Structure 1
């Protein structure tokens, strides 16, 4: 059985791959069987799902990239358009037409209105809104880079110019980009030498360069080159780093902090990477999710903490914990959040949602569109015969992946992590015997 995806939230430009354009879509199962272009890729197994303001990106285990690009679709004949919109799911697959993308993408990042992807050759490409330098291309480089557009097919089918982002001048010998992360109007890249390269809007310090700018070109930050970055987490305008998780765990933060979303005990914006010493549970963190003006943390004990603009809530739901809030939720195994909503998984099965539901991004059909508060969780009645594998959230939308293959992939990943940890601790034999 192939992987299955349930989507809900805003779909006004078909960013959820649903043909019924609407600002409010209730949970819907994507029907890939009716899409001969997408189905073969879905059958490979889905590695990750990334969502932004007007885009959903699906990366498969065979490194194929699927993108919703209906907002860029070139107008064709009326008959062909009506045929396209008759399908329940109408996801576009540029990798079917662009050789550069086929079996070649290792990471993808989606911001509010820009998208970047990284190839096996460690080349970075971007398209979308180019204002504030958020895809790393200056106006002069756009003119010089006209011939570097991926293929004519991309231009013919979609009204897009996709550029290669020039970063070679910032890289040392044997250094290359390994992963990419999008903020609302900016981008952060991580290299194999634990350095960062950031570009875009840096008016609140979110790009970690120490300089306030409304248009920052690619700049290298070497703050972590003697540490191991275990995780990079981005919100609209703030970022967090989990470092040295195996030896001496530390949490570093930067960016917008006017709502106390960095958990530092003050609300001044932070322009340089700063250690958060208020986070007393940092050694227990296994995942972090950042929203527009709030942050949530998942610990290995299944507890959830938060900071930032978390609305007041019933005393039986949340309590204050220093600079953070502790959610009174137990056995949480996954978290994700959009701009103003969050999703939680309990015991790998039950889904809870909280926050603003004005676009049905929480999955509820409430007519009053009440903001229930990030901290006031309600169960979401969604089930599937396959295991619940992955949560994803964009600005005003959400997706849930059900997959047997993804569970196997994650199990193998955890086993590799355990093996590495066992080797580090010289307890390999003990671990195998157990």
Structure 2
């Protein structure tokens, strides 16, 4: 029932996106926190650990296009909610892998991480889709920045908690705790999240505010099953657009930074800087907190620039370029022996990564109105290919060189490439509108 009083339900919705995304990233980061202890128990070298760290992304990437299509067809609430339940079950099961014979434990854990990646594939396309529906264009930067900052908050919250737990108990307990917490979250999700016009506590004034500002408030309204948007001709149509291709490349590079921080960064502090895992959990949280601040601040700055300049190009590109320049400073860690300086440089790099992580805001701005789920899925597919390549490449570098120096150079190069892509390929940022002839070709 729509109420007549003024409401701000969209802020509750973005809070739910932040919580769900934080738990999703928490599930991804647990393996890196317990990686040292787990490697000893399962007898894994650096390269084999790299493959295990990448397992999540193999299925996550493959499932992006189907996930986007499922979101467009069945709506965000249902698909997203079932995703939370699915990864919770995977986490609980992963805690029992330690009781299996070593010969099959690696394969079992690899499979569970694959399956967890598959069921989590709708999360970020769903985030972009929900923000496009619930927020006017002038508020999308902040909204997207809030849920995107979850990747850093996951380290802030789960890093110390899991670092303490793996030290005091064992690595299996970390998976069990994450699974139970995520199951509780799924119950809250189904109770709190609705489409815009079906929310029982929203006011007509808020609906009008969303729609007048460019929000797609009618998305997911009604219970009828919609047609699937997943066709290869549709994918080809999206890939034929130069601006979108530039955004996809930029997202791959930015996501490479994300996966360094989510996978090898705690291990880097432990192995290269000789810190205990309990200390790693707390020290990793400090740069991650800077990422949270940078992420939210980047969205705020972007929205301010949009209001002042009326240009999405200036408003979105400026924080992205500035943030990636800050991230380049992590290479400076190769030239110091001071743990304090390392943490400070990583804090600046984390801040820059957060400040420039506006890819989902850009996707909400530019996606064709009837292909938001599919375009979000394709965007996330290409971006999270870095989740496969980055852990393996860094594991290979670590195994061959015995150090992390070239690994940091590689991650810094990804930040530089993101800058080049946004400045030289993307061009003007605007919503894509395909002609009827192009769409007819997609349908055919």
How high is the TM-score relative to the length of structure 2?
A: 0.28
Q: Which has the higher strand share?
A: 1
User: Which has the bigger relative contact order, CA under 8 A and spacing at least 6?
Assistant: 2
- Indicate the structure with greater helix content: 2
